[in-house]
């Protein structure tokens, strides 16, 4: 007898089966990395994302469709790792929004849920690329829509949707040339298909084993946010809008996009520093304005208000200004820092500049800030791996270092926990990896009591340069713009080994070869670490290059790094500096400025 619908308990079983299938195939998915390096992590990221949701699903005291939807959505959202994990969490978010009010699900309901999942994920990505997990999800949503209304049973429905998903996946190399060149399909799309196939097997009655990690107890909940803040850094200038106004609108019904835009437009007309985050049940608002009453009156037209907070920033500004102006010593420090940040300087002064800026930041924050009782104007979070790299960021007075990077992308929850520990009005996050930026942005949208600025650094050298160019006198967006401009001047090269044979970027690569990977492509291939490192650096430098910084990894001896520096210095007219990065997997990380 054909299955025509499933209830919440059955959907739970399908979801856990999908998680189990993905978990069992994660290493295979990792190997679909375009670059044949030993850090492929798509399978790991997607698995840890779905297992975070699976733990919440397992912890449900009773299974209802609404409770199941919330567990899947919130668990995957907070546990999302890497771009693939964040996109997967958005697929789940859209899917669960569509089903949460249903008692049972038939093919028509699932078709609508697949469509909403795809739409939600596409909206979450700034510049969606075809040939990725997004394309595979959309292909299955299109097929599901085609089958809706036909009276088809769920077994046939799922089989045809999955078959079409496989077909779209097989065509991803034709949509992304880099996949075709590497001879692989999209790894995120493959991960999504594993989830679908696991769910389908459970629908057919196959017994499943819940992954051990999914059955593990949930981590302790995060503590409530400490302190209260204005959401704006102290910049020493005149405050145009005096009241930091925050509240949550408890919606009577979900706002369509046009009404959210209308609300944003109105609030922008009466203030600045606007943050509006909308979900189906509520809208979080942060705005600086001279008339909080107008903001509140407008908000009341959409629903009831809660967690209202209004701070007089002019009073706080005067207190901070007084505290920040007590001694001529600090004024001198301000002048020194401003000169270091804005004035041209020889590349040889780089190390000295790195010391001067952090010492000023520490002074400006004040001795009391270290007690965590007094909130700072600004703080910094950086993602880093390797004790040497970590020490460099500590030397730049980064408040929180999240261990991770290409080999282990931190989750959205890792970001939220770090944000919680930084007692500052404005928190700057430096992901230092292109695969971590989405998780940082997701944490930004989930943070309510602080202004979060995600600086989209894609490498550790970019992160170092961005922090060096921070100006305490500038507003957050001004700092972000300056940092982005400066980090564009940094070229990064990373040296590692190949884990499989492939042809990429006009290089024939064999397993075990040494590869130099630039910002966009492979720039050197060889069999010797030293010689390939030299070729990589030569490919990155040009007549405008002034400084080369070499960070040697855990498997490289200091003497070997010094020998590399000496050889490069013989041909290079600028400065060449060597640092102990201590990073795993990558023999050298090199920046050229």
Secondary structure (DSSP) of 380-393: EEEEE-SHHHHHHH
Tokens of 357: 């800026």
Q: Is 256 exposed, middle or buried (0-12, 13-18, 19+ CB in 10 A)?
A: exposed
Of the candidates 77, 72, 69, 80, the residue with the CA atom closest to the CA atom of residue 56: 72
CA distance 160 to 486: 50
Phi and psi for 176 in degrees, rounded to 5? Answer: -120, 105
SS3 284: strand
pLDDT for res 277: 67
Q: Which residues contact 290 (CB under 8 A, 6 or more apart)?
A: 241, 242, 243, 270, 271
Of the candidates 451, 453, 450, the residue with the CA atom closest to the CA atom of residue 466: 453
Look at the chain and count its residues. Answer: 593
pLDDT for res 567: 94
pLDDT for res 209: 67
SS3 448: coil
First to last CA, the chain: 68
Q: Which residue has the tokens 């060096």?
A: 468
Q: Which residues contact 544 (CB under 8 A, 6 or more apart)?
A: none
CA distance 316 to 242: 10
pLDDT for res 215: 55
- How many CB atoms within 10 Å of residue 264? 16
pTM for this predicted structure: 0.65
Query: Which CB contacts under 8 angstroms, 24+ apart, belong to 109-118?
Result: 110/144, 110/154, 110/157, 111/141, 111/144, 111/145, 111/147, 111/148, 112/148, 114/140, 114/141, 114/144, 114/145, 114/161, 115/141, 115/144, 115/145, 117/90, 117/91, 117/92, 117/93, 117/141, 118/91, 118/94
CA distances for 555 relative to 100, 331, 383, 559, 586, angstroms: 51, 45, 21, 12, 8
pLDDT for res 591: 93
pLDDT for res 219: 40
CA distance 36 to 553: 19
Q: Which residues contact 85 (CB under 8 A, 6 or more apart)?
A: 45, 46, 48, 49, 76, 79, 409, 411, 439
Of the candidates 43, 367, 279, 10, the residue with the CA atom closest to the CA atom of residue 158: 10
Q: Which residues contact 384 (CB under 8 A, 6 or more apart)?
A: 390, 393, 401, 402, 403, 404, 405, 432, 460, 463
CA distance 225 to 214: 28
Cβ–Cβ < 8 Å for 79, 48:
yes
CA distance 303 to 282: 9
pLDDT for res 409: 84
Q: Calculate ∠ Cα 264-265-271, nearest 5°.
A: 85
DSSP secondary structure code for residue 406 in this structure: S
Q: Which residues contact 520 (CB under 8 A, 6 or more apart)?
A: none
DSSP string, 151-197: ---HHHHHHHHHHHHHHHHHTHHHH-HHHHHHT---HHHHHHHHHHH
CA distance 356 to 391: 16
Count each helix (H run) and each strand (E run) in the chain, helices first: 24, 18
Cβ–Cβ < 8 Å for 63, 9:
yes
CA distance 287 to 231: 9
Cβ–Cβ < 8 Å for 93, 120:
yes
CA distance 203 to 224: 40
Of the candidates 249, 358, 361, the residue with the CA atom closest to the CA atom of residue 295: 249
Cβ–Cβ < 8 Å for 401, 448:
no
Sequential pLDDT tens for the chain (593 residues): 689 999 999 999 999 999 999 999 988 888 887 666 765 578 888 999 999 999 999 999 999 999 999 999 989 988 888 888 989 999 999 999 999 999 999 999 999 999 999 999 998 887 788 999 999 999 999 999 999 988 899 999 999 999 999 999 999 999 988 888 778 889 999 999 999 999 999 999 987 766 656 655 444 333 333 333 333 333 334 567 878 888 888 887 778 888 888 888 888 889 877 767 676 677 778 788 888 888 898 888 888 887 777 877 666 555 544 444 444 334 434 433 443 333 333 333 433 333 333 333 343 344 334 344 478 999 999 999 888 999 999 999 999 999 876 557 888 889 999 999 999 999 999 999 988 999 999 999 988 889 999 999 999 999 999 999 999 999 999 999 999 999 999 999 999 998 888 888 888 899 899 999 999 889 999 999 999 999 999 999 998 999 999 999 999 999 999 999 999 999 898 899 999 999 888 999 999 99
């Amino acid at each position: 007898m054909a299955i025509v619908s499933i209830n919440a308990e059955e959907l739970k079983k399908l979801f856990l089966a999908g998680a189990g299938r993905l978990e069992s195939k994660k290493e295979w998915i990792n190997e679909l990395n375009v670059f044949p390096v030993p850090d492929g992590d798509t399978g790991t990221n997607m698995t840890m994302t779905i297992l975070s949701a699976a733990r919440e699903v397992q912890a449900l005291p009773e299974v209802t469709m609404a409770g199941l939807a919330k567990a899947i959505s919130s668990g995957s959202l907070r546990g999302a790792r890497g771009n693939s994990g964040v996109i997967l969490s958005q697929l789940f978010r859209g899917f669960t929004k569509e089903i949460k009010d249903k008692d049972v699900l038939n093919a028509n309901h699932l078709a609508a849920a697949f469509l909403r999942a795809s739409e939600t994920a596409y909206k979450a990505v700034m510049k969606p690329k075809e040939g990725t997990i997004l394309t595979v999800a959309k292909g299955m949503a299109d097929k599901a829509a085609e089958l809706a209304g036909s009276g088809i049973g769920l077994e046939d429905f799922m089989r045809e949707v999955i078959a079409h998903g496989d077909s779209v996946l097989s065509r991803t190399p034709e949509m992304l040339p880099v996949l075709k060149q590497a001879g692989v399909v999209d790894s995120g799309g493959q991960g999504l298909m594993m989830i679908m196939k696991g769910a389908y097997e459970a629908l057919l009655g196959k017994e499943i084993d819940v992954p051990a990690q999914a059955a593990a107890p949930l981590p302790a909940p995060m503590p409530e946010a400490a302190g209260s803040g204005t959401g704006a850094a102290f910049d020493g200038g005149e405050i145009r809008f005096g009241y930091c106004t925050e509240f949550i609108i408890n919606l009577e019904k979900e706002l369509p996009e046009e009404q959210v835009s209308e609300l944003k437009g109105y609030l922008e007309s009466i203030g600045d520093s606007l943050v509006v985050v909308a979900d189906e049940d509520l809208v979080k608002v942060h705005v600086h304005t001279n008339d909080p009453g107008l903001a509140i009156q407008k908000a009341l037209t959409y629903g009831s208000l809660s967690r209202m907070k209004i701070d007089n920033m002019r009073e706080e500004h005067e207190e901070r200004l007084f505290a920040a102006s007590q001694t001529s010593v600090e004024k001198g420090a301000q002048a020194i820092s401003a000169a270091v940040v804005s004035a041209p300087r020889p590349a040889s002064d780089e190390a000295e500049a790195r010391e001067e800026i952090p010492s000023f930041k520490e002074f400006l924050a004040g001795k009391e800030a270290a007690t965590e009782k007094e909130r700072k104007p600004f703080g910094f979070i950086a993602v880093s791996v390797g004790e040497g790299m970590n020490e460099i960021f500590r030397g730049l007075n980064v408040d929180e270092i999240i261990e991770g990077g290409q080999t282990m992308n931190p989750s959205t929850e890792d970001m939220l926990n770090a944000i919680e520990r930084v007692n500052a009005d404005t928190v700057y996050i430096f992901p230092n990896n292109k695969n971590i930026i989405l998780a940082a942005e997701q944490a930004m949208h989930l943070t309510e009591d602080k202004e979060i600025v995600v600086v989209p650094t894609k490498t550790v050298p970019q992160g170092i340069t961005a922090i060096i160019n921070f100006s305490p006198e500038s507003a957050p967006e001004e700092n972000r713009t300056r940092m982005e401009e400066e980090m564009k001047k940094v070229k990064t090269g990373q040296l590692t080994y190949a884990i499989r044979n492939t042809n990429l970027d006009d290089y024939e690569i064999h397993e075990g070869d040494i590869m130099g990977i630039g910002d966009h492509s492979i720039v050197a291939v060889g069999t010797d670490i030293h010689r390939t490192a030299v070729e990589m650096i030569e490919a990155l430098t040009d007549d405008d290059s002034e400084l080369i910084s070499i960070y040697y990894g855990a498997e490289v001896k200091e003497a070997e790094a010094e020998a590399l520096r000496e050889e490069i210095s013989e041909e290079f007219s600028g400065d060449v500096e060597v640092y102990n990065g201590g990073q795993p997997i990558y023999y050298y990380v090199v920046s050229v400025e």
